[in-house]
Amino acid sequence: MKRSLSIIFGCLLPAALTAADAQPQINLSVSLAVSPAGQVGPGSPVTLTATATTQPKEFPQRELLQQNIRYTFSAQRTSPSAETVAIATNVSTKTVTWTPQNPGVYDISVRATYIARSIPVSIDDHRLAPFATASVPNYTVLAGIDLVPIVGPFMGECTKQDCSQCPYVTVPIYVKNLGNVTQPKQVTIIVKYKDQVIQTWTTTAPAGGAQVKVGSYTTFPWNCPSITGQFSPNYSVTVDTTNAVAETNEQNNVKAFWLRFPERTTFQAN
C-alpha cells in the first residue's frame, strides 16, 4: 500500500495558487534484500537491507526527505507453526542484522515510513504517515537436527542363471542428520516386519550433515527369479523411537521397504 506525500514551500507560493496546484506529488516505495539469500542455519546472522526511493527523483530536498524515513523490520514464520519476530522497530538505519534461532519458513518484511519532521507533508488521510512495504517470502531457516533412516545401497549382485548359487546380499542401514546442529544423544532404532519389532539398535545421533551406520540386513537370493508387479512394504526402519532428540521434522523418521524373501533375511548390528 502506498501513500503520496507533498512538500510545502510556503514562502515561494504565489498567493493566487492553491496548495493542490503548487505541491508536487511524492510517491514512497521500498525494496528489501536478504543476505545470504534463500536459507540459513539457526544461529547464523542474516543481513537485511532496505532501499527506499521517492518519486520524482528531481524533487527538491530529496536528501532531507530520505533522512526522515524510518524502518521497521519483522519476520513472520509460516511453517511449521506461526510465529512473529520483531527484528527492528522504527530505526533510521537501512541495514539490520537478524539472527534466527527457530527453524522454519519465514516471510521477512520491512515497512518504510516518512515521519514528517523536517519537511511538512500534505496527505489525504491525516491519520497516517506516508509509508511503503516490501517482503521476501519463503525464507528458510534450516533444521537444527533432523534424523532420518537411510537403507542401502545393495552390496553385491546376483548374476548367475542358477539362483540357488546367488551370493547373499548385504544392505547397510544408516541414521543421517539432515540438519546442521550436532546433539550427541543416544537414540534407538528399530526394525519391524509386518508391524512386529524384530531388531533394536542404539547409537549416538550423528553430527549435523553426517550419517552413521547402525546395522545391516542380509538376504538370499535377492533377484531370482525376475520380479513383476507392485508390492507393499513388509519392513520398516524407525529412528529415535523414544524421542530422545527434539527434531524439527518428526514426520520423516520411518523408512519402509520390501524384501522378497523375509524368511531368508537376517539383521545384524554394525
Same domain, 133 and 262: no
Res 226: pLDDT: 63
**DSSP symbol at 19:** H
Same domain, 131 and 158: no
> What pLDDT, in 10s, does the model give residues 181-206?
788 999 999 999 999 999 999 999 99
How many distinct structural domains can be found in the chain? 2
**Domain final residue pick, 123, 141, 159:** 141
* Pick from 147, 165, 167: nearest CA to 157: 167
Number of helices (H), then strands (E), in the chain? 2, 17
**DSSP symbol at 10:** G
User: Whole-number mean pLDDT of the chain?
Assistant: 79
pTM comes to 0.50
Same domain, 162 and 254: yes
Same domain, 160 and 105: no
Same domain, 99 and 20: yes
Q: C-alpha cell of 38?
A: 534463500
Same domain, 57 and 109: yes
Same domain, 121 and 9: yes
- Residue 97 belongs to a domain with what CATH number? 2.60.40
Same domain, 121 and 231: no
**DSSP symbol at 168:** P
**Domain final residue pick, 85, 108, 141:** 141
Same domain, 156 and 89: no
Q: Say if strands 169-177 and 186-193 run parallel, antiparallel, or are unpaired.
A: unpaired
* Pick from 65, 104, 105, 107: nearest CA to 87: 107
- Report how far residue 235's alpha carbon sits from residue 237's, in angstroms, rounded to the nearest whole number: 7
Same domain, 198 and 245: yes
- Report how far residue 218's alpha carbon sits from residue 31's, in angstroms, rounded to the nearest whole number: 58
**DSSP symbol at 67:** H
> What pLDDT, in 10s, does the model give residues 216-266?
998 876 556 666 677 889 999 999 999 998 787 788 999 999 887 788 889
Give 265: exposed, middle or buried? Use CB within 10 Å, 0-12, 13-18, 19+.
Answer: buried
Same domain, 224 and 151: yes
Res 16: pLDDT: 37
- Residue 195 belongs to a domain with what CATH number? 2.60.40.10
**Domain final residue pick, 141, 161, 185:** 141
The β-bridge partners of 189 are: 201, 239
- Res. 102 pLDDT band, cuts 50 70 90: confident
Q: Which residue segment(s) compose the domain that 36 sits in? A: 4-141
**Cis preceding linkage at 262, omega within 30:** no
- Report how far residue 206's alpha carbon sits from residue 146's, in angstroms, rounded to the nearest whole number: 10
Same domain, 190 and 231: yes
